[in-house]
Homo-oligomer: A and B are copies of this chain.
Amino acid sequence: MRLKSQTNGKVPGLAVVLVGSRKDSETYVRSKKKACKEVGIISLEENLPVDSSEEEVLNIVRKFNDDPSVHGILVQLPLPKHMNEERVLAAISVEKDVDGFHPLNIGKLAMQGRTPLFVPCTPRGCIELLLRSNVEIKGKRAVVIGRSNIVGTPAAMLLQRNQATVTVVHSYTPNPAEITREADIVIAAVGVAHLVRGDWIKPGAVVIDVGINPIEDPSAKKGYRLVGDVCFKEAAMKASAITPVPGGVGPMTIAMLLRNTLDSAKRAYGLLD
């Protein structure tokens, strides 16, 4: 562990705040804690009941802001409806915003000549997949389907920073299939099972599927299985490369969260170049 030897045994710390007991959120948090353990990041967790007040959540966030052993703070979304997500996320110190959702980080990500402290994990994972697979991004046409704050919008910014010509397709786009068919690189992040069919894909395009949608499946043990936003079977016949669901982007998201946390710890210890 290089960091540990450079910091007199100090290691990165990630704090996770979970409100309520949504099954999917609990699963995510468990995966994140497991991944932390594997790489030697200390993980702290605060689990609040679903009827907690916003002030209670804010107090937890503030406690972690003040704790020098914590380098990343992650509030698992979605929060219960009675809480103001914007206010809770804004309370996270921008230096510990390892999710990269703070508007200051998003703004810097959008701007030329600026560098955000953190890049949101899922979009960063998508780009990392492209780069590690030697997909040329520069000069290519990219289409991002979906414009969420968490995936679509930052993914479009990252593709553009890598010199792609980017179009964002969303619910008001009248002809999403036609536009997507122009793309050399497609990132689907819209949360609709099998929305993207084979005829949306230009032959040879590279497809990254961020969706994780449960669909009924009587043959499955739980009665459902998880599928992406892309109809994999059809798209795989057209694409030169495509990510599966589950197993494609998901693990990358967690890997990038660990990397953001490590970067944050290095920054705190004055070890980042």
Q: Is the CB of A165 within 8 A of B160?
A: no
CB of A174 within 8 Å of the partner chain: yes
Q: Is the CB of B165 within 8 A of A166?
A: no
0/1 interface trace, chain A 98-125, chain B, CB 8 Å (1 if under): 0000111111111111100000000000
- Determine which of B86, B104, B172 lies in contact with A163 in the assembled complex, contact meaning CB atoms within 8 Å: B172
Choose, from A8-16, A147-155, A205-213, the stretch at the interface: A147-155
Q: How many copies does the complex hold?
A: 2
Q: Is the CB of A149 within 8 A of B103?
A: no
Kindly state the separation between the CA atoms of A108 and B172 in the bound complex, as whole angstroms. 21
CB of A33 within 8 Å of the partner chain: no
Kindly state the separation between the CA atoms of A148 and B112 in the bound complex, as whole angstroms. 7
- Determine which of B147, B166, B169, B179 lies in contact with A168 in the assembled complex, contact meaning CB atoms within 8 Å: B166
Residues from chain B with a CB closer than 8 A to the CB of A166 are: 167-168
Q: Is the CB of B139 within 8 A of A174?
A: yes
Kindly state the separation between the CA atoms of A273 and B179 in the bound complex, as whole angstroms. 39
Residues from chain B with a CB closer than 8 A to the CB of A147 are: 112, 160
CB of A62 within 8 Å of the partner chain: no
Task: With both chains docked as a complex, state the minimum distance between the C-beta of A25 and any C-beta of chain B, in angstroms.
Answer: 20
Q: Is the CB of A111 within 8 A of B179?
A: no
Residues from chain B with a CB closer than 8 A to the CB of A219 are: none
- Determine which of B105, B160, B173 lies in contact with A107 in the assembled complex, contact meaning CB atoms within 8 Å: B105
Residues from chain B with a CB closer than 8 A to the CB of A170 are: 160, 163, 165
Q: Is the CB of A114 within 8 A of B138?
A: no
Kindly state the separation between the CA atoms of A165 and B160 in the bound complex, as whole angstroms. 16
Tell me the A129-176 residues at the B interface (CB within 8 Å).
Answer: 138-139, 141, 147-149, 153, 157, 160, 163-170, 172-174
Kindly state the separation between the CA atoms of A111 and B85 in the bound complex, as whole angstroms. 13
With known contacts A139-B173, A172-B138, A103–B108 Cβ distance under 8 A:
yes
Q: Name the residue on B nearest A143 (C-beta).
A: B167
- Determine which of B107, B112, B113, B138 lies in contact with A110 in the assembled complex, contact meaning CB atoms within 8 Å: B107
- Give me 11 A-to-B residue pairs in the complex whose CB atoms sit less than 8 angstroms apart, sorted by A's number: A102-B107, A103-B111, A104-B107, A106-B110, A107-B110, A112-B147, A112-B148, A112-B149, A112-B153, A164-B172, A165-B169
